[in-house]
Every structure is written in structure tokens, then in C-alpha cells.
Amino acid sequence: MRISRRHHQLADPFTDLLFNTLLGFTLLFFIAILFMNPIAKLGNINYKAEYIITVSWPEDQPDDVDLWVQDPYRETVSYLRKEAGWLNLDRDDRGDLNDTVMINGKKVVHPINQEVVTIRGIISGEYIVNLHYYQSVSKQPVKTVVKIEKVNPVLRLVYIDQLVLDKVDDEKTVLRFELDGNGEIVAMNQLSKILTPYRLDPEQLAPESEQSL
């Protein structure tokens, strides 16, 4: 009986020491994990894009303006095709039609008139940015602001301009810019080109006409 009691008394400190050692290793392992995978800082956004193209117009003007963008391979993104090559239409704004959301069973209006296209990879060559006045509720011209921002390696504004669309079906070329292999803009111009299928563009029809001859 004495032997078992003594054995029990010797085993308790050993068990405590083993438990504390294991607890210490667990704590050190947890700290190491935190250092290897630090918690992301609030406000930091890792946006997977090379360029962001944004058009916005007054919040009190419930008209529908569409952004059309074409890449060097003539892949064109718009509300008709929201993904084309490396181009993505991230927000299709329809005036005041998609400014209302349901929160807890109640309609909440958040007026924002903005369309966003991202270029998620680099293809060297010419890109064309157009605006099209798709639908008018106000029956007034729309004053827009167009921005082009380079995302990587840091966010940088590379172009901003104002452009007025006078009436429904008005389409204007905002900018034609050329990227080199490193994704840097090396040339800009504003030569007009129609991207929508609503009107005929001789430049777009030329290759088909030559093939039919």
C-alpha cells in the first residue's frame, strides 16, 4: 500500500511536467503559425487585375450608360458579353433599375451610377474604350467621368476625362490606348470607332467585305 501511494505521489509531478511541456510546445506552434500567416490588415484589398476602367454619371440621373471595351484580339466586353478574353464587366449599371436592394424585407435605395471593366491580364496591343447611351429616362444629355487606373504594382491613375453623351444611341470613343509587353501604356489617341452592333462601322466590315470578294 505504501509502495502504490509513493508511486502515485511520484507520478503526479511527472504528469504535470509533461502536460506543461506539451502546452508550451502547442503555444509556440500556434505563435509560429500566426507569423507564417499574418492576419490581413483591414482595408487592404488584393485585387486581381492589371487595369480598372470606370465610368460614372450623376446619381440623380436614372439613365442607362454602357461601357464597351475591346482588346487587341478584337474581343469585346459589354452587357452583352460580360467576359471576353482578359476583359471582365464587373458592374453593369442599368440606371436606377439596380439601385434598390432588399434588407430585412425592406427596400433600400443606394443611388450609384457606375460601370466597371477590369483588364485581368496583359495582352500587348491596342485597347478601345467606348461609351454608349443605351436608354434615357431623364431625356437629357448625360455628363460622364471616365477613369483608367493601373493596379499593379501600385494603384495609379493613368487617365481621366469628362465626356457628354447627347442622346439615346449616342456612342463615343473615350480612348484608344496601346500596351507594351510589360503592361505599360505607350500610346494614346481618340480616333472614333463603333463597337456596338447597332450601327455599321466600315472599319469592322472591311475584313468581311474583302473575304467575300
157: β partners? 149
Task: Among 3.30.210.10, 3.30.413.10, 2.60.60.30, 3.20.20.70, name the CATH number for the domain at 51-197.
Answer: 2.60.60.30
pLDDT digits (tens, 9 = 90+) for 23-50: 666 666 655 554 454 444 444 444 578 9
User: Omega before 197 cis (within 30°)?
Assistant: no
Q: Is the whole-model pTM more than 0.75?
A: no
* pLDDT value at residue 207: 44
For the chain, domain boundaries: 1-39, 51-197
Give the three cell numbers for residue 160.
481621366
pLDDT tens, position by position, 132-189:
999 989 999 999 999 999 998 899 999 999 999 999 999 999 999 999 999 999 999 9
d(CA 194, CA 199): 7
Least confident piece of the model among 3-7, 80-84, 85-89, 188-192: 3-7
d(CA 164, CA 170): 10
| pLDDT averaged over every residue in the chain | 79
